[in-house]
Structure 1
Amino acid sequence: MIEILLLTVALAVAFGNGANDNFKGFATVWGSETLPYRRALALATGATVAGSLASIWLAHGLIARFSGIGLVPPATAGSAHFLLSVAVGAAVTVALATRLGLPVSTTHALIGGLIGAGLGQAGGVVHLSPLVHSFVAPLLVSPLVAAALGALAGRMLKRPDPQADCACVVAPASAVVVAASGGGAALAPPALPHLVVAAPAECDGLDTTVRVSVSRTLDRAHVASAASICFARGVNDTPKLTALLLAAHALDASVSVAAIGGVMGIGGLLFARRVAETMSRRVTRIGHRDGLGANLVTAALVLFASKLGMPVSTTHVAVGSITGIGAAGGTLDRAALRNILLSWVATLPLAAVVAYAAAPLASAIF
């Protein structure tokens, strides 16, 4: 009976995770009106589920980190009562934040759940020292690194002339006859093809072999970068939730990953709108180039952390990169950012309190 309840609550965490996190990669895409909401949501969901499935090969190290081993005694870490308390703490916290439209970290909620459940189930025996290097340091440093890189990317991607939307390769000129010394004539070598970036009207008068729109190319790259973030988030978050199922021997690894990924997708499709509004419209105004820079920073950091087994928060990294862009451009909404930061501060202790309260109830009922 408790295994079934654990499976249900763990999937509820995945559902809330999808509702809170799935759209974050496409926040800048919708905010810059590159794509309408429904189309952006569909792409975000597909990329997230694909990342979830890929996590089997790319991020197996995170499963061990979120099993509770090292924080509590091994016997407690494998207890269904302990894992149920962890899942309840995380599920309640993420669901509340999603209802309020606040983008929080499921990673923080799970860590809070591990601490609270450990205090409630293991007689207060929780080894917090592993948290410093394995959990706290990456979670604290990652948004700061993302903000710095986001500001740098924003400056690098700024376009000097907004009207220069045409990039074209100008055809080489034919060989021409030129005067030579001594009164003779000679053939001058033809010029080489060269790249010109100018206003479309200026490109119209050139003999071009290749011509592309800079803005349309950047839009495509922006969407691709958003999909890469959702893919990276699926890779990074799925193992954390899968650990709840594997530690209790509820399902095998492949089935657990597929179940978590599918439920995350459904949660995003149904309830992503509130957090999407906050990320896309309230933190800052972001243009197409800025959004591309922020997304590339987020995707690179999350994938790099996943490969190293570092439990960074996609939320923290994404908000950090967007904040860096907004701060560099002077368009940051400090009030909205303050609310998000306060929700981050509250996530871990709230999850810990709920998990601590759920621990004796789980032991008493089952």
Structure 2
Amino acid sequence: MILVLLFLSACFLAYSNGANDNFKGVATLFGSGTTNYKKAINWATITTFSGSVAAIFLANELVKNFSGKGLVPNELITMPIFAIAIAFGAALTVFIATKIGMPISTTHSLVGGLFGAGVMAVGSQFNFEKLGSTFLMPLIVSPLMAAILSLIAYLIFKFFRKQLGVTKKTNLSIHKKQTINIASVNMDNSSTLKSNASLEATINDKVETYEGEILGLSSQKALDSLHYLSAGVVSFARGLNDTPKIVGLLLIINTIDIKWSMIIIAIVMAIGGLLNAKKVGVTMSKKITPMNSGQGFTANLITGLLVTTASVHGLPVSTTHVSVGSIFGIGTATKKADYKMISKILLSWLLTLPIAAIISGILFKLLENL
């Protein structure tokens, strides 16, 4: 029964992860008007699922490492109730954030779960030093670095765009409403036509595109292709990185092969993204800052480079934090960033670890006493 509960907790975490995280790689595609929401989430689902499947062959070590090793004594890691407390605490935290449209990090929810259940289980034996140096420092540094680099990259790309003679063009989607009133028939059966016509127009959407050629290619088409590619790479990397972290909690269930665990978690993540990603997707795409396709591509490029570099060096940065930081950097450069929304997101980040820790700690104690 306890192993079934562990499996269900891991699936709940996978679902919440997909709902909160799957759209982040393609947020700039939707936000810039490069594509609509449906096409963006479909591209995110395909590329994230591909990354999850690739984890079967490329990420076995990450599965073994992301289980609390170094933070708590090794004997605690093998306890099913410890893994359940971590998974459920992290899952519920991410699920609540998803419902209110806040993009938070599953990684840091898991760290919060590790902290809460770990301290409840072993008290002062918990490795607080490693928690600060390995997890909290990248949490603070990565979004700041992403914001600065995306701002610099945007200014550099803008300079070269002008040098190459590529210009921006604004396309307006206008909704027209026309009203015509007609009167009337006279008493002698003769008719008189009177009309009163009014035209009302509203701008539904405004999309900036680029005109000009680079190396004989249409600048807009080349940019859109690169933008799609960069979004796919970020989503693939996220699936590759996040799936093993969740599967790591299932190592205690020796009856389920790691490969099958990866596939199950990948499917549940995909379902979570397809069914529940819209609120977080709109926050990431529309509420931090308006952007065009060039600005969106720049933010995605910086996100991809930073997350990939951090992964190579073993730094546990959050795709969420890097992605939000990159988009905010663009908003700072264009002076269109919504600082009120950014402050709400930062508050949700600050609350992620303590909320997950409290839920996991309480659940561990309850399961221990049963």
Q: TM-score range by the shorter chain?
A: 0.7 to 0.9
Amino acid at match of 1:35: T
Q: 1:279 to 1:332 in 2, by over 3 A?
A: same
Deviates more, 1:127-136 or 1:312-321: 127-136
Q: Distance in 2 between matches of 1:345 and 1:262?
A: 30
Map of 1:19 onto structure 2:
19
Map of 1:80 onto structure 2:
80
Q: Distance in 2 between matches of 1:138 and 1:216?
A: 36
Asked if 2 retains the 8 angstrom alpha-carbon contact of 1:82 and 1:359, the reply is yes
Deviates more, 1:120-129 or 1:26-35: 120-129
Map of 2:7 onto structure 1:
7
Map of 2:179 onto structure 1:
none
1:74 to partner: Cα distance:
0.9
Q: What's the TM-score once normalised by structure 2's chain length?
A: 0.83
1:250 to partner: Cα distance:
5.6
CA deviations 1:21-70 (Å, max 9, x no partner) are 00011111101111111111100001001111222344444334421121
Q: Distance in 2 between matches of 1:267 and 1:75?
A: 33
Q: 1:96 to 1:133 in 2, by over 3 A?
A: same
Amino acid at match of 1:333: D
1:314 aligns with 2:319: yes
SS at match of 1:291: helix
1:147 to partner: Cα distance:
1.1
Asked if 1 retains the 8 angstrom alpha-carbon contact of 2:211 and 2:220, the reply is no
Map of 1:280 onto structure 2:
285
CA deviations 1:214-257 (Å, max 9, x no partner) are 11110111111111110111112112111111145363321222
Map of 2:106 onto structure 1:
106
Asked if 2 retains the 8 angstrom alpha-carbon contact of 1:34 and 1:219, the reply is yes
Map of 1:172 onto structure 2:
none
Amino acid at match of 2:153: A
Map of 2:146 onto structure 1:
146
CA deviations 1:106-147 (Å, max 9, x no partner) are 011000000101122235531112223322222222112211
1:264 aligns with 2:282: no
Amino acid at match of 2:22: N
**Residue 225 of structure 2: which of 208, 220, 225 is its match?**
220
Q: CA RMSD in A?
A: 2.0
CA deviations 1:199-225 (Å, max 9, x no partner) are 66xx9xxxxxx8421111101111111
Ranges in structure 1 where 5+ consecutive residues have no aligned partner: 166-197, 204-209
**Residue 163 of structure 1: which of 152, 167, 170 is its match?**
167
Q: What's the TM-score once normalised by structure 1's chain length?
A: 0.84
How many residues in Structure 1 have an aligned counterpart in Structure 2? 326
CA deviations 1:153-209 (Å, max 9, x no partner) are 2112223255379xxxxxxxxxxxxxxxxxxxxxxxxxxxxxxxx966xx9xxxxxx
1:339 to partner: Cα distance:
0.4
SS at match of 1:101: coil
SS at match of 2:125: coil
Runs of 4+ aligned residues of structure 1 deviating over 4 Å after TM superposition are none
Map of 1:119 onto structure 2:
119
Map of 1:333 onto structure 2:
338
Map of 1:298 onto structure 2:
303
1:235 aligns with 2:243: no
SS at match of 1:122: helix
Map of 2:202 onto structure 1:
none
Asked if 2 retains the 8 angstrom alpha-carbon contact of 1:27 and 1:279, the reply is yes
Ranges in structure 2 where 5+ consecutive residues have no aligned partner: 170-209
Asked if 2 retains the 8 angstrom alpha-carbon contact of 1:62 and 1:310, the reply is no
**Residue 350 of structure 2: which of 318, 341, 345 is its match?**
345
Asked if 1 retains the 8 angstrom alpha-carbon contact of 2:166 and 2:219, the reply is no
Instruction: Identify the structure with the greater strand proportion.
Output: 2
Q: Distance in 1 between matches of 2:132 and 2:63?
A: 18
Asked if 2 retains the 8 angstrom alpha-carbon contact of 1:236 and 1:311, the reply is no
Identity within the alignment, %: 45
Asked if 2 retains the 8 angstrom alpha-carbon contact of 1:147 and 1:325, the reply is yes
Q: 1:312 to 1:266 in 2, by over 3 A?
A: same
Deviates more, 1:154-163 or 1:4-13: 154-163
Q: 1:149 to 1:4 in 2, by over 3 A?
A: same
Q: 1:121 to 1:330 in 2, by over 3 A?
A: same
Map of 1:129 onto structure 2:
129
Q: Distance in 1 between matches of 2:280 and 2:102?
A: 6
Q: Distance in 2 between matches of 1:156 and 1:250?
A: 54
SS at match of 1:157: helix
Q: Distance in 2 between matches of 1:104 and 1:162?
A: 37
Q: Distance in 1 between matches of 2:302 and 2:316?
A: 17
Asked if 1 retains the 8 angstrom alpha-carbon contact of 2:211 and 2:219, the reply is no
Q: Distance in 1 between matches of 2:211 and 2:134?
A: 51
